[in-house]
A = this chain, B = another copy of it.
Amino acid sequence: MSPNQPGQMPKMPIPGVKNLIAVGSGKGGVGKTTVSVNLAVGLASLGYKSGLMDADVYGPNVPLMMGINRTPMAFGERIQPIEQFGVKLMSMGFLNPGDKPLVWRGPMLHSVIQQFLRGVDWGELDYLVIDLPPGTGDVQLSLIQTAPITGAIIVTTPSDVSLEDARKAIFMFHQVKVPILGMVENMSFLMCPHCKERIDVFSYGGGRRTAEQMDVHFLAELPLDPAVRIGGDSGRPIVLRKDEGEPFLALAKNVAARAEEAAKEEGPKIEISD
Protein backbone atom coordinates (compact mmCIF):
# COMPACT_ATOMS: atom_id res chain seq x y z
CA MET A 1 0.00 0.00 0.00
CA SER A 2 1.16 3.46 -0.76
CA PRO A 3 1.83 5.46 2.37
CA ASN A 4 0.12 8.39 0.67
CA GLN A 5 -3.37 6.96 0.24
CA PRO A 6 -5.98 9.48 1.37
CA GLY A 7 -6.98 7.73 4.59
CA GLN A 8 -3.40 7.60 5.78
CA MET A 9 -2.25 11.14 5.14
CA PRO A 10 -0.21 12.28 8.10
CA LYS A 11 -1.97 14.90 10.19
CA MET A 12 -0.10 16.83 12.80
CA PRO A 13 -0.84 15.36 16.23
CA ILE A 14 -1.62 17.68 19.13
CA PRO A 15 1.32 17.14 21.49
CA GLY A 16 0.18 15.46 24.72
CA VAL A 17 -3.35 14.68 23.49
CA LYS A 18 -3.98 10.95 23.08
CA ASN A 19 -7.50 10.88 21.62
CA LEU A 20 -9.47 13.47 19.70
CA ILE A 21 -13.20 12.78 19.76
CA ALA A 22 -15.34 14.91 17.44
CA VAL A 23 -19.01 15.25 18.34
CA GLY A 24 -21.11 16.17 15.33
CA SER A 25 -24.67 16.18 14.09
CA GLY A 26 -26.34 16.83 10.81
CA LYS A 27 -28.95 19.05 12.38
CA GLY A 28 -28.60 21.64 15.11
CA GLY A 29 -30.51 21.56 18.35
CA VAL A 30 -30.37 17.81 18.75
CA GLY A 31 -28.25 18.02 21.89
CA LYS A 32 -24.76 17.89 20.42
CA THR A 33 -23.34 20.33 22.96
CA THR A 34 -25.22 18.64 25.79
CA VAL A 35 -23.65 15.33 24.77
CA SER A 36 -20.18 16.93 24.37
CA VAL A 37 -20.27 18.61 27.77
CA ASN A 38 -21.57 15.58 29.61
CA LEU A 39 -19.16 13.29 27.77
CA ALA A 40 -16.14 15.43 28.69
CA VAL A 41 -17.23 15.77 32.34
CA GLY A 42 -18.16 12.07 32.42
CA LEU A 43 -14.71 11.05 31.15
CA ALA A 44 -13.15 13.23 33.86
CA SER A 45 -15.39 11.57 36.49
CA LEU A 46 -14.13 8.20 35.26
CA GLY A 47 -10.56 9.32 35.97
CA TYR A 48 -9.45 10.25 32.47
CA LYS A 49 -7.66 13.51 31.76
CA SER A 50 -10.28 15.30 29.74
CA GLY A 51 -10.59 18.45 27.66
CA LEU A 52 -13.39 20.07 25.70
CA MET A 53 -12.92 22.34 22.72
CA ASP A 54 -16.02 24.24 21.65
CA ALA A 55 -15.66 24.52 17.87
CA ASP A 56 -19.21 25.78 17.41
CA VAL A 57 -18.02 29.31 16.79
CA TYR A 58 -21.47 30.48 15.64
CA GLY A 59 -23.28 29.46 18.80
CA PRO A 60 -20.72 28.64 21.47
CA ASN A 61 -22.93 27.35 24.28
CA VAL A 62 -20.25 25.51 26.24
CA PRO A 63 -19.50 28.42 28.64
CA LEU A 64 -23.15 28.68 29.68
CA MET A 65 -23.54 24.92 30.03
CA MET A 66 -20.34 24.67 32.11
CA GLY A 67 -21.20 27.72 34.23
CA ILE A 68 -18.22 29.84 33.22
CA ASN A 69 -18.16 33.60 32.79
CA ARG A 70 -14.48 34.39 32.92
CA THR A 71 -11.84 34.84 30.22
CA PRO A 72 -8.82 32.60 29.74
CA MET A 73 -5.30 33.93 30.37
CA ALA A 74 -2.57 33.92 27.78
CA PHE A 75 1.13 33.43 28.58
CA GLY A 76 3.04 34.78 25.63
CA GLU A 77 1.32 33.30 22.60
CA ARG A 78 -0.17 30.35 24.46
CA ILE A 79 -3.75 30.43 25.74
CA GLN A 80 -4.43 28.71 29.06
CA PRO A 81 -7.63 26.68 28.99
CA ILE A 82 -10.16 27.23 31.77
CA GLU A 83 -10.70 24.23 34.05
CA GLN A 84 -14.13 23.30 35.36
CA PHE A 85 -15.41 20.01 36.83
CA GLY A 86 -11.98 18.54 36.03
CA VAL A 87 -12.22 19.40 32.32
CA LYS A 88 -9.93 21.77 30.41
CA LEU A 89 -12.05 24.07 28.26
CA MET A 90 -11.70 26.42 25.35
CA SER A 91 -14.53 28.23 23.60
CA MET A 92 -15.05 31.26 21.41
CA GLY A 93 -17.67 32.16 24.01
CA PHE A 94 -14.82 32.95 26.43
CA LEU A 95 -13.34 35.47 24.03
CA ASN A 96 -16.61 37.02 22.85
CA PRO A 97 -18.90 36.93 25.87
CA GLY A 98 -22.30 38.57 25.72
CA ASP A 99 -24.83 38.83 22.97
CA LYS A 100 -22.85 40.28 20.08
CA PRO A 101 -22.70 37.81 17.21
CA LEU A 102 -19.51 37.05 15.34
CA VAL A 103 -20.14 36.78 11.64
CA TRP A 104 -17.42 34.50 10.33
CA ARG A 105 -16.21 34.02 6.82
CA GLY A 106 -14.55 30.72 5.88
CA PRO A 107 -10.84 31.62 6.12
CA MET A 108 -11.28 33.27 9.54
CA LEU A 109 -12.92 30.10 10.77
CA HIS A 110 -9.97 28.03 9.66
CA SER A 111 -7.57 30.19 11.59
CA VAL A 112 -9.55 30.27 14.82
CA ILE A 113 -9.89 26.48 14.75
CA GLN A 114 -6.14 26.09 14.34
CA GLN A 115 -5.60 28.48 17.25
CA PHE A 116 -7.90 26.41 19.41
CA LEU A 117 -6.19 23.17 18.46
CA ARG A 118 -2.59 24.27 18.61
CA GLY A 119 -2.42 27.61 20.42
CA VAL A 120 -4.02 26.33 23.63
CA ASP A 121 -1.98 24.68 26.40
CA TRP A 122 -4.00 21.49 26.56
CA GLY A 123 -1.22 19.69 28.44
CA GLU A 124 -1.54 15.91 28.86
CA LEU A 125 -5.01 14.68 27.92
CA ASP A 126 -6.47 11.24 27.45
CA TYR A 127 -9.43 12.73 25.60
CA LEU A 128 -10.03 16.03 23.90
CA VAL A 129 -13.71 16.23 23.01
CA ILE A 130 -14.47 18.61 20.14
CA ASP A 131 -17.96 20.04 19.92
CA LEU A 132 -18.43 20.67 16.18
CA PRO A 133 -20.95 23.07 14.73
CA PRO A 134 -23.94 21.24 13.26
CA GLY A 135 -23.91 20.32 9.61
CA THR A 136 -21.19 19.72 7.09
CA GLY A 137 -19.45 23.04 6.54
CA ASP A 138 -16.16 24.86 6.71
CA VAL A 139 -15.27 24.21 10.35
CA GLN A 140 -15.77 20.48 10.02
CA LEU A 141 -13.56 20.38 6.92
CA SER A 142 -10.82 22.49 8.51
CA LEU A 143 -10.68 20.26 11.56
CA ILE A 144 -10.87 16.98 9.75
CA GLN A 145 -8.20 17.95 7.25
CA THR A 146 -5.68 19.05 9.83
CA ALA A 147 -6.22 17.09 13.05
CA PRO A 148 -5.83 13.34 13.61
CA ILE A 149 -9.35 12.65 14.86
CA THR A 150 -9.60 9.30 16.67
CA GLY A 151 -13.27 9.05 15.90
CA ALA A 152 -16.55 10.89 15.57
CA ILE A 153 -19.81 10.60 17.44
CA ILE A 154 -23.04 11.51 15.65
CA VAL A 155 -25.89 12.88 17.73
CA THR A 156 -29.47 12.74 16.46
CA THR A 157 -33.01 12.78 17.74
CA PRO A 158 -35.40 10.04 16.63
CA SER A 159 -37.31 12.37 14.26
CA ASP A 160 -37.07 11.63 10.54
CA VAL A 161 -35.87 15.14 9.84
CA SER A 162 -32.96 14.79 12.24
CA LEU A 163 -32.13 11.30 10.98
CA GLU A 164 -32.05 12.55 7.38
CA ASP A 165 -29.36 15.05 8.39
CA ALA A 166 -27.53 12.51 10.57
CA ARG A 167 -27.09 10.25 7.55
CA LYS A 168 -25.50 13.15 5.70
CA ALA A 169 -23.07 13.68 8.58
CA ILE A 170 -22.15 9.98 8.56
CA PHE A 171 -21.46 10.14 4.83
CA MET A 172 -19.28 13.19 5.35
CA PHE A 173 -17.11 11.43 7.94
CA HIS A 174 -16.91 8.36 5.71
CA GLN A 175 -15.82 10.50 2.77
CA VAL A 176 -13.00 12.08 4.74
CA LYS A 177 -12.02 8.73 6.32
CA VAL A 178 -12.74 9.65 9.92
CA PRO A 179 -13.83 6.54 11.85
CA ILE A 180 -17.28 6.80 13.42
CA LEU A 181 -17.27 5.64 17.04
CA GLY A 182 -21.01 5.54 17.07
CA MET A 183 -24.37 7.21 17.11
CA VAL A 184 -26.31 8.65 20.03
CA GLU A 185 -30.08 9.02 20.01
CA ASN A 186 -30.89 12.03 22.18
CA MET A 187 -34.37 13.08 23.33
CA SER A 188 -35.40 9.45 22.87
CA PHE A 189 -38.41 9.66 25.13
CA LEU A 190 -39.86 11.69 27.96
CA MET A 191 -41.24 10.37 31.21
CA CYS A 192 -44.18 12.58 32.22
CA PRO A 193 -43.24 14.06 35.61
CA HIS A 194 -46.92 14.00 36.59
CA CYS A 195 -48.21 10.56 35.59
CA LYS A 196 -44.85 8.82 34.92
CA GLU A 197 -46.14 7.61 31.56
CA ARG A 198 -43.76 7.60 28.67
CA ILE A 199 -44.13 10.13 25.80
CA ASP A 200 -42.26 9.67 22.50
CA VAL A 201 -42.14 13.37 21.67
CA PHE A 202 -39.77 13.10 18.72
CA SER A 203 -40.68 9.51 17.85
CA TYR A 204 -38.45 6.69 19.10
CA GLY A 205 -35.90 4.14 17.94
CA GLY A 206 -34.89 5.78 14.66
CA GLY A 207 -31.35 6.34 15.92
CA ARG A 208 -30.72 2.66 16.57
CA ARG A 209 -32.40 1.67 13.30
CA THR A 210 -30.37 4.17 11.27
CA ALA A 211 -27.15 3.08 13.00
CA GLU A 212 -27.86 -0.54 12.04
CA GLN A 213 -28.72 0.39 8.45
CA MET A 214 -25.52 2.36 8.08
CA ASP A 215 -23.36 -0.17 9.92
CA VAL A 216 -22.48 2.27 12.67
CA HIS A 217 -22.19 1.35 16.35
CA PHE A 218 -25.16 2.49 18.47
CA LEU A 219 -23.83 4.12 21.62
CA ALA A 220 -26.76 5.26 23.71
CA GLU A 221 -30.31 6.45 23.89
CA LEU A 222 -30.64 9.44 26.16
CA PRO A 223 -33.93 10.57 27.65
CA LEU A 224 -35.59 13.94 27.01
CA ASP A 225 -35.42 14.85 30.68
CA PRO A 226 -36.12 18.44 31.76
CA ALA A 227 -33.28 17.89 34.28
CA VAL A 228 -30.84 17.66 31.35
CA ARG A 229 -31.90 21.09 30.09
CA ILE A 230 -31.83 22.52 33.62
CA GLY A 231 -28.30 21.13 34.00
CA GLY A 232 -27.31 22.95 30.82
CA ASP A 233 -29.05 26.21 31.64
CA SER A 234 -27.65 26.28 35.17
CA GLY A 235 -24.07 25.40 34.22
CA ARG A 236 -23.96 22.10 36.12
CA PRO A 237 -23.99 19.17 33.66
CA ILE A 238 -26.41 16.40 34.55
CA VAL A 239 -23.69 13.72 34.46
CA LEU A 240 -22.61 15.07 37.86
CA ARG A 241 -25.95 14.03 39.35
CA LYS A 242 -26.10 10.56 40.82
CA ASP A 243 -29.19 8.93 39.31
CA GLU A 244 -30.24 11.19 36.47
CA GLY A 245 -26.63 11.36 35.28
CA GLU A 246 -26.32 7.59 34.86
CA PRO A 247 -27.12 7.35 31.10
CA PHE A 248 -24.48 9.99 30.39
CA LEU A 249 -21.84 8.27 32.51
CA ALA A 250 -22.61 5.03 30.69
CA LEU A 251 -22.12 6.88 27.41
CA ALA A 252 -18.69 8.11 28.54
CA LYS A 253 -17.64 4.54 29.41
CA ASN A 254 -18.92 3.32 26.08
CA VAL A 255 -17.06 6.01 24.15
CA ALA A 256 -13.81 5.28 25.98
CA ALA A 257 -14.15 1.60 25.11
CA ARG A 258 -14.91 2.39 21.47
CA ALA A 259 -11.99 4.81 21.21
CA GLU A 260 -9.62 2.11 22.46
CA GLU A 261 -10.97 -0.27 19.82
CA ALA A 262 -10.63 2.38 17.11
CA ALA A 263 -7.01 3.00 18.15
CA LYS A 264 -6.30 -0.74 17.86
CA GLU A 265 -8.04 -1.04 14.49
CA GLU A 266 -5.88 1.75 13.16
CA GLY A 267 -2.84 -0.46 13.71
CA PRO A 268 0.57 0.56 15.02
CA LYS A 269 1.19 4.28 15.17
CA ILE A 270 4.39 6.25 15.26
CA GLU A 271 4.88 7.27 18.88
CA ILE A 272 7.15 10.09 19.85
CA SER A 273 8.73 9.23 23.21
CA ASP A 274 9.26 12.05 25.68
Chain B residue numbers with a CB within 8 Å of A64 are 160-161, 164
Q: Which of A47-55, A115-123, A198-206 contacts its partner?
A: A198-206
A78-111 interface with B by 8 A CB criterion: 99-106
Contact A101 B168 (CB under 8 A): yes
A197 within 8 A of B: yes
- Total interface residues in chain A, CB < 8 Å: 58
Which of the residues B28, B162, B172 comes within 8 Å of A134, measured between beta carbons?
Answer: B28
Which of A27-45 touch B at CB < 8 Å?
A: 27-30, 33
A-B contact pairs, 19 of them (CB 8 A): A27-B59, A28-B29, A28-B135, A29-B29, A29-B134, A29-B157, A99-B167, A99-B171, A102-B136, A137-B137, A161-B232, A161-B233, A192-B194, A192-B197, A195-B197, A201-B229, A202-B229, A203-B229, A203-B230
Q: Which residues of A contact B (CB under 8 A)?
A: 26-30, 33, 58-59, 61, 64-65, 99-106, 133-138, 140-141, 157, 159-162, 164-165, 167-172, 175, 190, 192-195, 197, 199-203, 224, 226, 229-230, 232-233
**Given A26-B59, A28-B135, A99-B167; 4 other pairs, CB 8 A cutoff:** A27-B61, A58-B135, A58-B136, A64-B164
